[in-house]
């Protein structure tokens, strides 16, 4: 999904607001040391990586920087590795945003999830226009994609931990199938997905290569999409396609039902194929008063939102092959949700003023228990 930022004030005003409302939070996370009760430190106790999506704007504000560095051990570029951004004009590249985020992650001992190489959205205009008017043939389109993947993966060879190679190819229907109307599939056939994995592996044999999608762990209340993705992955692995993992985006909405048990079962099923797992874009949205303040209109949502975050994390914790859990932006003011779902928001783990929400505490408590277990009870005197 596209990471968006919604502010009702100017950039200068944002800096003032953030500087005055989250001084304590920034102070707690400043410096090179990671706080022992941070999400990052608690997750490290069990070998899990906890991550967030970041855009360069975040790094212009010390308060965002401090939380991004102090709370998370993985960084996903929200937009800066998408084709539209890195090659806005054919043959003209702009790696500045991606380079900045990679440098930030390396400076703070974080790993990087590359996002994303093959997707129908956020493609450069010169590419889609050329295909539409016939100046780019299907054969040329295939060659351009091969070149794009090879160029980008090679540039960051040895520096990217996980790549979202292919993103959102399956339909939401029941039964679910690879979408025949997808931009890439309609022009190059479904086999282009496997080719993208092969090309990425050739460019960096050591990077973990993921298929990434939403509603593939029962989030929509059915297993139709999960069944289709599982069957396809099984087929691809049998053909020797170098797929290392599955990324479940984990975009939830409190107005719909959600089963953490079903998610756990689906993640375990993918793991049975020998694949690694990652929750890649976790957020939980609900109805709010407006896009600026993002106060839930139903007080029960303030309980449901952290509960569903916790259910997702618990599902990941229950499956040893789940190696990372990434929230899609950590502050509500930074979230893509209000700009995409009218009347909804409150989707992340920090509020619009960067104060940690109950969802943050829920994740923190779950990670603490996962790392050390519940403390033993004091002597009860029973049996005397």
| Confidence band, pLDDT 50/70/90 cuts, at residue 18 | very low
112 contacts: CB under 8 Å, gap ≥ 6: 74, 75, 76, 77, 101, 102, 105, 156, 159, 160, 161
With beta carbons less than 8 A apart as the criterion, state whether 245 and 275 touch.
yes
Rounded to whole angstroms, the Cα distance separating 88 from 140 reads 18
Phi, psi angles (nearest 5°) of residue 347: -95, -10
Is 80 exceeded by the pLDDT of residue 22? no
Give the SS3 label for residue 18: helix
Q: Within 13 Å, how many C-alpha atoms sit on residue 279's CB side? A: 35
Strand, helix or coil at 209?
strand
Sign of the torsion angle spanned by Cα atoms 305, 331, 285, 118: negative
Residues annotated as catalytic are 168, 281
What pLDDT does 381 receive?
Answer: 78
Alpha-carbon gap, residue 165 to 278, rounded angstroms: 14
pLDDT bin (cut points 50, 70, 90) of residue 10 is very low
Query: Residue 125 and residue 89: Cα distance in Å, rounded?
Result: 8
Domains of the chain: 25-372 (3.20.20.80)
At 292-334, the pLDDT tens digits run 999 999 999 999 999 999 999 999 999 999 999 999 999 999 9
pLDDT for 23: 32
Average pLDDT over the chain reads 91
What are the tokens at 169? 């190819």
Q: Reduce the DSSP state of residue 182 to 3 states and report it.
A: coil
**What pLDDT does 384 receive?**
55
Distance in angstroms (rounded) separating the CA atoms of residues 242 and 280? 19
Share of the chain above pLDDT 90, in %: 87
How confident is the model over 88-118, as pLDDT tens digits? 999 999 999 999 999 999 999 999 999 999 9
Convert the pLDDT of each residue in 174-194 to its tens digit. Answer: 999 999 999 999 999 999 999
Which residues touch 306 (CB under 8 Å, ≥6 apart)? Answer: 357, 358, 359, 361, 362
Q: How would you label 80-117 residue by residue, b for 16+ Cβ within 10 Å and e otherwise?
A: bbbbbbbbeeeeeeebebbebbbebbeebebbbbbbbb
Q: At residue 259, what are phi and psi to the nearest 5 degrees?
A: -115, 110
Q: Which residues contact 27 (CB under 8 A, 6 or more apart)?
A: none
SS3 295: coil
């Amino acid at each position: 999904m596209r990471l968006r930022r919604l502010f009702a004030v100017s950039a200068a005003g944002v800096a003032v607001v953030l500087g005055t409302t989250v001084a304590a939070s920034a102070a707690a996370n400043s410096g090179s040391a990671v706080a022992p009760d941070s999400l990052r430190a608690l997750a490290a106790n069990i070998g899990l990586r906890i991550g967030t999506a970041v855009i360069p704007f975040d790094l212009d504000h010390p308060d965002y920087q401090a939380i991004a560095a102090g709370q998370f051990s993985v960084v996903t570029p929200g937009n800066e590795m998408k084709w539209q951004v890195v090659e806005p004009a054919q043959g003209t590249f702009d790696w500045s945003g991606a380079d900045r985020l990679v440098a930030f992650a390396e400076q703070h001992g974080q790993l990087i999830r590359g996002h994303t190489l093959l997707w129908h959205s956020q493609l450069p205009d010169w590419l889609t226009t050329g295909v539409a008017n016939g100046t780019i043939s299907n054969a040329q389109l295939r060659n351009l994609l091969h070149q794009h993947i090879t160029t980008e993966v090679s540039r960051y060879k040895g520096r990217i931990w996980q790549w979202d190679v292919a993103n959102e190819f399956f339909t939401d229907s029941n039964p679910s199938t690879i979408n025949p109307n997808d931009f890439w599939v309609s022009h190059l056939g479904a086999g282009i997905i496997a080719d993208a994995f092969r090309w990425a592996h050739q460019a960096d044999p050591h990077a973990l290569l993921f298929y990434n999608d939403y509603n593939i762990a029962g989030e929509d209340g059915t297993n139709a999409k999960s069944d289709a993705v599982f069957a396809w992955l099984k087929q691809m692995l049998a053909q020797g396609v170098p797929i290392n993992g599955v990324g479940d985006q984990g975009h939830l909405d409190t107005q719909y039902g959600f089963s953490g048990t079903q998610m756990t079962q689906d993640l375990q099923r993918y793991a049975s194929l020998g694949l690694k797992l990652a929750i890649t874009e976790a957020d939980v949205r609900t109805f709010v008063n407006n896009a600026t303040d993002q106060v839930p209109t139903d007080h029960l949502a303030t309980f449901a939102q952290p509960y569903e975050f916790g259910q997702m994390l618990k599902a990941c914790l229950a499956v040893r092959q789940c190696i990372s859990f990434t929230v899609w932006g950590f502050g509500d003011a930074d979230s893509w949700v209000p700009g995409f779902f009218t009347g909804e928001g409150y989707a992340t783990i920090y509020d619009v003023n960067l104060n940690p929400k109950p969802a943050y505490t829920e994740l923190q408590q779950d990670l603490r228990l996962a790392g050390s277990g519940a403390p033993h009870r004091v002597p009860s005197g029973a049996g005397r």
